[in-house]
Amino acid sequence: MSKRISIILLALSVFLSTNYVLGESDSLSVKLAELNDLEDHCLKVSDPPVSVGKSCLDRLSDYFENKPIWNNATMIFHRNNKTKIDHWVLNQRVPYMMFTDVDLIGDAPTWGDIFDGKVSERMAAVADVLDIETCAQLKDHGEIHPLLTNKCQARELYKYATYLDVCLSGFSRSSLLNANNPTTGVSVYETARKGLDNSQTIDEANDNDWKLVENYLHSMWITDQCSNMLVLPLDDNLDFVDTISGKGSFGDMEKALSTVHDTALAISARAGDPWAVVSFYERGLSEDVEYWESLYEVNPLLFHRWMSTSIGNVWFDDEEQVRHAMKAYDIEKQQVPQAVELNLEQYLKKHHLDALVNSLERMEPIREEDLDSSLKFPWNSEQDPLKLLRR
C-alpha cells in the first residue's frame, strides 16, 4: 500500500446483536434471576431497538465489559420448533469449529479490550502495517512468525478486525431477533422464549432461557457501542458512502468490511498474536502446510482440534481425525479440570464432533501410549489435498 487510506466515519443504522454464552459456574437459577432483573430494568427505560436508556446501558456495561468476547461468536436459538445456529458474519473459524471453554483458558479477550476507545488508532495501525512488506506478505500464506508480533502490531490488528466483525454481526443478529412474524406480530425473541416452556427439564429450560435473555440484553449494549462505527476501507471498487447510508444491501456492507477484516486478522495470526491464532481461519488455509506445522509448535491443542474437524478431511480419513480428537482430549484434560469428567464420546459431542462418534465405535481401541506414534500430519501425509478437494 503506497499511502495511508483515509479514515471514514460511518454512522450505521441502529440494530441489535446477540451472544451465545459458554458454561459458567453460577447456578442457572441465580443467573436467570440476575438477567431477568436486568431485562425488566432495561425494558422500563428503553424502547428497543429504537432507543436504549442510559441507566440500562450503564448496567449492561458493568455486566458485559469483562466477559470473554468468544462467548458471542455463535448464537444458538429455537425457531419454528427447530434449533438454529447463527455465527459471526466475518470470522471464518466459527462455522467449522465453535469456541468452547478450552478457548477461555488463561488470557482471553474481553469486551473491554475491544471497546476501549482506541478504534481510530487501530485503523491507523492497519494502514501502517500494510506499508511494511514483511508484515503485508503475511496476509496471503505461510507459517506463524512470533518474532514479528510487535513489528506488525499484531494485537492492534486483531482488536480492529474483531471490532468490525462483532459490530456487523450485531446488526445482522438484531434484525433476526427483532423480526416480527407477519401473522402473529410476535418477534423471534419473544417466540423463542415462549417456546422454552416445552423443554424436558427445569435445568434445561433455565439454561436455554438465561442464554436467550443474555443474548437479547447484549444486543442492546453492543448496538450502542457500535452506533458510530469507524471503518478503514481497503477495496477501492466499493462505494462506502452508499453502502452505509442505506443505498447498499447488507451483502454490500459485508463485502466492504470483509477485506479489511480478513487482511488484519491474517496478518495478526501469522505474526503470532495468541488471540488471533485462536480466532483465525481463512479460505484455502486447510492446504497451507507451513501454517499447520507452525501451529503444531505454537498451540498443539488447537492444531489437534482443527485436524479433528471437517478441515482435517482435506488430509485424513475419519479414523485419523478421531486420533487427533483423542490427542486433543488428552491435552485438554491436563489444562481443563472439568474435561476429566467427560469420556471421549462426550468430549466429541461437547466440541460438536458428533460425526466422529460412529467412527470411534468402529475403531479398534488405541492404547494411550501408542497414540502419538499412530498420528499422521499434513506435512508428512501421503494425501494430495488438491485431489481430495476435487473429489
Q: Per-residue pLDDT tens for 140-179?
A: 889 999 999 999 999 999 999 999 999 888 888 888 888 8
Per the model's pLDDT, the better-predicted residue between 198 and 16 turns out to be: 198
Model pTM score: 0.83
What is the per-residue pLDDT across 271-323, written as a single tens digit (0 to 9) for each? 999 999 999 999 889 888 999 999 999 999 999 999 999 888 888 888 889 88
pLDDT of residue 296: 95
**Of 371, 326, 328, nearest in space to 344 by CA:** 326
Helix (H) or strand (E) holding 9: strand 8-11
Q: How far apart are alpha carbons 197 and 205 in whole angstroms?
A: 7
Q: Return all residues near 251 (Cβ < 8 A) that are at least 6 apart.
A: none
Q: How far apart are alpha carbons 160 and 258 in whole angstroms?
A: 12
Q: Is 84 helix (H, G, I), strand (E, B) or coil?
A: strand
C-alpha cell at 184: 402473529
Q: Are 97 and 306 in contact (CB under 8 A)?
A: yes
Burial of residue 106 (number of CB atoms within 10 Å: 0-12, 13-18, 19+): exposed
**Of 227, 139, 120, 169, nearest in space to 19 by CA:** 169
Q: Is 21 helix (H, G, I), strand (E, B) or coil?
A: coil
78 forms bridges with which residues in the sheet? 83
Q: Where are the domains of the chain?
A: 8-276, 285-390
What is the per-residue pLDDT across 296-309, written as a single tens digit (0 to 9) for each? 999 999 999 999 99
